[in-house]
């Protein structure tokens, strides 16, 4: 029984929606039970939040793909804490504020976006849906936000650019031991108008992901990974000097995987335009801080020299507001987007982004803010 409720939940979605610290129960394959909103007796015709999409995605994905996308490293302590950290923080609304007109729009590195939510780099999206990264890119473009394409995508940068002409997009960089592989992909991204390079710095080696080990995870034979992170070795000698090499491509460099003030300062000193406070979705070093818990330390250390973004654990519009209040310019979503993709391809991602945008919009109004720029440290404890 969920300790937050006085009776057994009517459906699996009630547990997921009310207790994020627990692993959601599995939905029986092929179940025809209707979705029910928590606390309501009548079924709803479609998922109404990200938790609903997660449960439906589990039904859609095979065990191999689900283990890869849902799992974390080690005992998954950090994976769970990324979610729990948002529950520990409480919002402080201000009342009698004019919120007749509320906008969710903001800017990131000078790019105007319609909501303070970007698409995080997430590998091998064609394991979730045949359209993979193309569906995600089209949904992000339609929502007027930025998609970050993973080095380990199942779609090349050139293909994503062709599918979304004129859209804002970033390219995530893993640096391989054979640097020519990395340089080839960066050159393709630059040639196809990707506007920033996102260097992942928390993965000199892949974390030990035990769900993958138990399931004997394998890349499906019909898929080709653009930058194969499983067979190609990363450059474990990567250093801060390499930020300057990356900046030589003429694009802003964003450093993803920062959790400490010390590294935030070094990123700024070596020319980073932005940093992403991230623990790789709990998939690398288990036992590190939740991203949200590390955010304020990083914001203080950066001290306005670069923009600060956050990923890890975002499932609600109120999560976004808490991150903004602690100093993030915007957040990135990975798994939340992936569940939408698995359920209904491009339309699923579109629906997730619109659900979150509406939650942010309502949350801003109830918090007493007319825009993301109005959210301040005083709005959260």
Query: Catalytic residue numbers?
Result: 280
Residue 182 to residue 176: CA distance in whole angstroms: 6
CB proximity list for 286: less than 8 A, separation 6 or greater: 72, 73, 74, 75, 76, 77, 78, 79, 207
Neighbouring C-alpha atoms within 13 Å toward the C-beta of 24:
25
**76 phi-psi bin (left φ>0, alpha ψ -120 to 50, beta other):** left
Other C-beta atoms closer than 10 Å to the C-beta of 30 total: 6
Separation between Cα atoms, residue 34 and residue 84, nearest integer Å: 28
- Of 129, 128, 194, nearest to 159 by C-alpha is 194
For residues 37 and 355, the answer to whether their CB atoms sit within 8 Å is: no
Alpha helices in 174-239 (DSSP H): 179-191, 210-215
For the chain, state the CA radius of gyration. 20
Residue with tokens 């798994």, as numbered in its chain: 335
State whether the Cα torsion 235-237-239-242 is positive or negative.
negative
The helix/strand count (H/E) of the chain reads as 13, 10
Distance CA 315, CA 363 (A): 14
């Amino acid at each position: 029984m969920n300790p937050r409720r006085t009776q057994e939940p009517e459906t699996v979605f009630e547990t997921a929606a009310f207790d994020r610290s627990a692993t959601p129960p599995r939905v029986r394959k092929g179940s025809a039970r209707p979705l029910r909103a928590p606390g309501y007796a009548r079924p709803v015709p479609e998922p109404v939040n990200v938790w609903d999409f997660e449960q439906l995605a589990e039904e859609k994905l095979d065990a191999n793909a689900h283990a890869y996308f849902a799992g974390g490293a080690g005992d998954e302590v950090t994976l769970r804490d990324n979610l729990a950290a948002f529950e520990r923080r409480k919002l402080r609304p201000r009342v009698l504020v004019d919120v007749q007109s509320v906008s969710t729009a903001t800017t990131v590195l000078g790019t105007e976006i319609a909501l303070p939510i970007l698409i995080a780099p997430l590998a091998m999206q064609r394991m979730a849906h045949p359209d993979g990264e193309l569906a995600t890119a089209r949904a992000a473009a339609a929502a007027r936000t930025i998609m970050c394409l993973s080095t380990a995508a199942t779609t090349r940068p050139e293909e994503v650019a062709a599918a979304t002409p004129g859209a804002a997009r970033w390219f995530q960089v893993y640096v391989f031991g054979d640097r020519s592989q990395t340089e080839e992909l960066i050159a393709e991204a630059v040639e196809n108008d990707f506007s920033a390079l996102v260097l992942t710095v928390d993965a000199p080696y892949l974390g030990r992901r035990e769900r993958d080990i138990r399931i004997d995870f394998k890349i499906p034979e019909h898929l080709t990974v653009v930058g194969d992170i499983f067979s190609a070795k990363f450059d474990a000698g990567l250093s801060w000097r390499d930020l300057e090499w990356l900046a030589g491509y003429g694009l802003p460099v964003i450093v993803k995987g920062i959790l400490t003030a010390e590294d935030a300062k070094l990123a700024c000193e070596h020319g980073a335009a932005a940093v992403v406070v991230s623990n790789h979705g709990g998939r690398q070093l288990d036992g590190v801080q939740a991203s949200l818990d590390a955010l304020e330390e990083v914001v203080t250390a950066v001290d306005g020299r670069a923009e600060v973004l956050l990923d890890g654990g975002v499932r609600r519009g109120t999560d976004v507001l808490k991150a903004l209040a602690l100093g993030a310019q915007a957040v990135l979503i990975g798994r939340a987007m992936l569940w939408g993709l698995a359920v209904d391809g491009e339309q699923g991602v579109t629906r997730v982004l619109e659900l979150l945008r509406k939650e942010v919009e309502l949350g801003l109004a109830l918090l007493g803010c007319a825009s993301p720029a109005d959210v301040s440290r005083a709005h959260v404890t």
